[in-house]
Amino acid sequence: METIQNKKEISRKLKERAFYEGFTIAGIASIPGSSRIKLRTEALERWLSNNHHGEMKWMEAERRKNIASLLEDAKSVLSVGFTYISSKHKNNNFLKIGKFSHGDDYHKVIYKKLKKIGKWINVEFPDCKWKICVDSSPLLEKAWAEEAGLGWIGKNSNLISKKNGSWFTLGFLILTKDLIPDEPHQSLCGKCDICIEHCPTKAIVEPFVIQSDLCIAYHTIESKEKTIPKKIKENLNGWVAGCDICQDVCPWNKSVPFNNTFENNPKEWITQLGIESLNWDNKTWEKNLKGTTLKRIKPWMWKRNIMANLKN
């Protein structure tokens, strides 16, 4: 039986290791979590029942509501954030792509770093089993990151950190070791509604609730419809993959530290994307998309999104 002191030491070492591997923020939550996890789960159920998830049927996975189903005897979860904003980011003059995808595929970047932490755990605490979760796992990610003290879920539904804003992606290590949890983060959005006011399609239908079929990011990344709806098309303003508007205007993103690691270096074709890309064949698209998170957007979808901007 480990003492409180031992648990504190292990918890401290684990978070230090996360920083060593290149994560910007790290925190620990106990499973099954506080009452806020239940509230977040109920909020997810309301969101799904209103069909706000559109074609994203994977959001309906029952396992998402129970983190313990992902690893037998799970007791704690390490939540980490990887900052993707770089001083090398620059806005394309015409066709714009969400900053989260300018560099290497964050799923792979985060997975590799978490695997290194896992291997370190195998040596330091061989009795601890672990499971990596990055984005595609059925997990209430932002809720658990909030529970672990990384930040709070903002009115634009992004996780916001007091120091690092919202320009980071999340990863998790579910652990069978009982650790000392960090304090869950409190919301600091206050009365600010800037993100809601600036969304051109009014996709933030109420604070913290995004209606996917009104969201530019949803229509340019997730939707498999052959055409983009008129209301969305009229408000694209150059966006062809994702949309950063609600993050660009957020006051918490005004002075965020950059993370100028090689993984975040923008791909040249992304910063120079123009209408000539309409003439690219599938092989050219595949070559450019390789190693990025943008490969989920098929070539025909890129052409659909670019053409929608030209016809405004």
**Among residues 135, 182, 193, 244, which one is catalytic?**
135
Strand pairing category for 25-30 and 76-83? antiparallel
- The amino acid present at 28, given as its one-letter code, is I
Distances (CA, A) of 95 to 24, 106, 309: 29, 22, 8
* SS3 label, residue 77: strand
Distances (CA, A) of 107 to 18, 103, 257, 294: 16, 11, 21, 11
**Residues with Cβ < 8 Å from 291, sequence gap 6 or more?**
104, 105, 108
Structure tokens, 66:
């129970």
Q: Cβ distance 172 to 139 under 8 Å?
A: yes
Give catalytic status of residue 135 as yes or no: yes
Structure tokens, 144:
């658990």
- What sign has the CA pseudo-torsion 98, 99, 103, 104? negative
Residues labelled catalytic: 135
